[in-house]
Amino acid sequence: MSLEIHFTQIDFNRVQLLHKQELSILSRWWNDLNFAEELPYARDRIVGIYFWANGIHFEPQYAFSGMIASKYTKFVSLVDDAYDANASFKFRKGRVIFCHNFRCFMNAMGIFSTKLRMIWESKDDPMPHIMWRQYEYFSKVVRGYHAEAEWADKCHVPTSDEYVLNGLATCACGLLMAAFFLGLEEVAEVAGVEEYEWLKSKPKIIKSNPKIIQKLRLI
């Protein structure tokens, strides 16, 4: 066995151990929230979401950020499950009211990390601007879910253009891409006002991603 292969195996084992530790923490967090019992319709997909997020934040030094992104993605998944499972239009309208309340959004964000809550409450930290951007993206996704719910309630069959346009919001690409900045220690340098404004301007890479995902959803 060559020395390179030997060190590769050692590195693989160390990374595998790190993944197990992170999954253990995420699973404990999910179980402590008791959402599986309180929200029986919610898909138990924390492991799959973790590995999806890990594809973006795979470096060990970004472990905290990756876990925050996993929790945030799970949060969005819960909202999606709620819209899919609950037929009550009153319930869905309540979710839209929730998405227009920034304070409620920040309280929900507190379940991901006490650190995020502390950062938000700090008036000297640049993170509030970033959290506001997260809120804007989240509101857009929920409004997309709500539009689909209205179509179902009114037995409205959307046109292809309507469906695709709304799907660009509900695929949550912009939301999740912005979420991956959460938890980065150097977030103020990596993603400040200028970077989030660039993301909001919908550059080609942001426009293309949702279209690809939307087409995959239609297959």
Q: What pLDDT does 24 receive?
A: 92
The Cα 38–Cα 164 span in angstroms is 33
Tokens of 85: 């499972």
Q: What pLDDT does 123 receive?
A: 43
Q: What pLDDT does 40 receive?
A: 79
Q: Left if phi > 0, otherwise alpha if psi is -120 to 50, otherwise beta: which for 101?
A: beta
Q: What pLDDT does 34 receive?
A: 81
Q: What pLDDT does 101 receive?
A: 55
Report mean pLDDT in 10-residue bins for the chain, 219 residues: 65 81 89 79 84 78 80 82 66 54 56 51 52 77 83 85 82 77 58 70 74 67
Task: Give the chain's domain count.
Answer: 1
Instruction: Look at residues 77, 178, 192 and name the one whose alpha carbon lies nearest to residue 134.
Output: 178
**Separation of CA 188 from chain center:** 20
Residue reference for tokens 């590995």: 51
- With 0-12 / 13-18 / 19 or more C-beta atoms within 10 angstroms meaning exposed / middle / buried, residue 128 is middle
Domain that holds residue 138: 3-218
CATH of the domain at 98: 1.10.600.10
Q: Within a 13 Å sphere around the CA of 44, how many CA atoms are in the beta-carbon half?
A: 12
